[in-house]
Structures are given as C-alpha cells and as structure tokens.
Amino acid sequence: MSTGARLGTKRSLAPPSPSPSVGSTASAAAGGTTPRKDRDTPGASGSHPIVYSQPQLTGTGTNTVSQMSYAVTWLRTKEEPQTYMDVLGYLSGTNWPESAQENFVELMRLNPRIQWTPDPTLSEQTWRTGTYMHRPTIPNVRNKTQLLAYLQKKTDASGVDVKDLKDGWPNCDAALSELEAAHKILVVRAKKDGVAKRVWPDDPSLFHEIDPELKLMWAKTDVPAPDSIVQRLKAAGQKPMSEDPRDKVLAAPKVEKKKRATRKTGKLTNTHMNKLFKDYSNQ
C-alpha cells in the first residue's frame, strides 16, 4: 500500500491527443482514409519548385523588334510605296489596339531602313498618313540604267559591292551578266562558284575583238617559261635586257663575317691606389 501510494503521486500524465478535425472525423466515419497533402501542388514538399526567373512562353515574333524586322524584309520586296494599313495587314496587326498601332507606326518612321513619304495633299500629317518604302544601302538603283548612271557619277575607283547593290535590287544577277557581256561593267566573281562580288564601270569602245586566226597562231606558239628566257637569249647570242638574278647570286663570293672582339667593360675603382699595388719584383 505504501509503494502504490508513492507510485501514484510520482506518475506523470500523458499529454492529451489533439482533437480530430471535422473533415477527418467525417471521412473516418464514412470509412475513408485521412486526406493527405496534395503533392502535385506547385511548390509543395517533394515537387519541383517554380523558377520565377524564367519567362513563360509568349510565342515567337510577337514583340516589336521581330515585327519591325519582318516589316523591313517585306518592304524590301515591294517596288511601290505601301501604306501603314498594308504593313499592318502583312503583320496581322490590324486587330491591335489603336495605341499599339500608332506606336509601331512612329517606330517605323524612326527606322533608318524605312523611308516615310508624307502625303503631299495634306497640310498636317498624322500617324495614319503617308507611305512607306524600304531604304536601301545604295538608293535609287533598281535596274540597269540606274546602275550605269550611279557608276558614272562615282568620283573614285572603289567600285560597288554586289551585296550592297542587292539590298535594294535583290534579283540583279541576270542584269549584271547582261551588262558584263555588253562590256558596260567589269565584274569580279568568286573562283569557287562564280558569284559576282564587285562591279566597276567599263567602256564598250575600248573592247576590240581579236582575230580568230591570231588566236590560233598564238596557241601554236611555243612560249618559253619565264625562268629560261634569259638563258635562251644568251644561247642565241643576244643580250638580254636584264641579267638573270640567279647568276649574280651564284657569282657573288661568300664574305666571311669577322667576329668582333668583345671588350670587357668594367668599372675601375680605387684608381688613386694604383701605385701601391704595382709589382716591383722584376726591378
């Protein structure tokens, strides 16, 4: 009895269990299991967290930079001026908000690759007025006549790059070949594929057709190699205009280079004590 009394006083009570929630009580009463935490929820424990630094997919070609690039490329293929509705129609931008359309038109007018021409019939221009064209690197050169006029106006002999010419005249290859065949331009082509790289003006009056008989005679002529011309002239008893430089190299005597004696340059010190260190043993 004494031991039981002591045990009863020292025994601590267990902590009370938490009361079940209404939902868990209802599911337990219905015979179901206790609902667990949804692991598919973004950011939940055990699932992959959301990386907020990565932008979500917004589609391709929907920003202003891409649309402007498409507009410049499209205007390059057009020879006639286009209105802003024509440009927006190509970009499927006619359903944009009016503020977005106005902003895009203002950016087109500031683009150096696009030329805006105001409407001459209006005294006051708005963002809906005027026409637009592509502004090429070489302006106003879209046919053979304009190319010849541009080459004649050049004040230097730098020529014209074909890549700059194609910026405003994309399909100029056939015209360049025709002008080259007529000796109106000089064309430098790539050795690999023959693509035109640069053009210069040419004068057809300076071209003279060579007689086919002369071409045949030249083909039959045995032209010596440049290295053996001097030897052949000497063998024939003729004095060449210039001597063979190889003979000078062979006849020149070899000059031995003399080695220069190295001088020991040292700094002399204690010069005032030279008499004290003089050797008098031979005297």
Q: Do residues 158 and 200 both lie within one domain?
A: yes
Which of 78, 102, 134 represents a domain boundary (last residue)?
Answer: 134
Structure tokens at 133: 């064209």
The pLDDT of residue 33 is above 90: no
- Tell me: the pLDDT tens digits for 116-152? 999 999 999 999 999 999 999 998 898 999 999 999 9
Least confident of 46-55, 186-195, 200-209, 260-269: 46-55
Cβ contact 113:72 at 8 Å: yes
Number of domains in the chain: 2
For residue 27, which amino acid is it? Answer: S
- Tell me: the pLDDT tens digits for 174-206? 999 999 999 999 999 999 889 999 999 999 998
Structural domain for 195, as ranges: 144-206
The pLDDT of residue 84 is above 90: yes
User: pLDDT value at position 108?
Assistant: 95
More confident residue, 218 or 281: 218
DSSP-derived secondary structure letter, 82 = B
DSSP-derived secondary structure letter, 204 = G
d(CA 181, CA 192): 20
Which of 110, 134, 158 represents a domain boundary (last residue)?
Answer: 134
For residue 139, which amino acid is it? Answer: P
How many residues does this entry show for the chain? 283
* Helix residue spans in 121-278 (DSSP H): 144-153, 162-168, 173-181, 212-220, 229-235, 245-251
Q: Do residues 119 and 167 both lie within one domain?
A: no
Q: What is the mean pLDDT of the chain?
A: 78
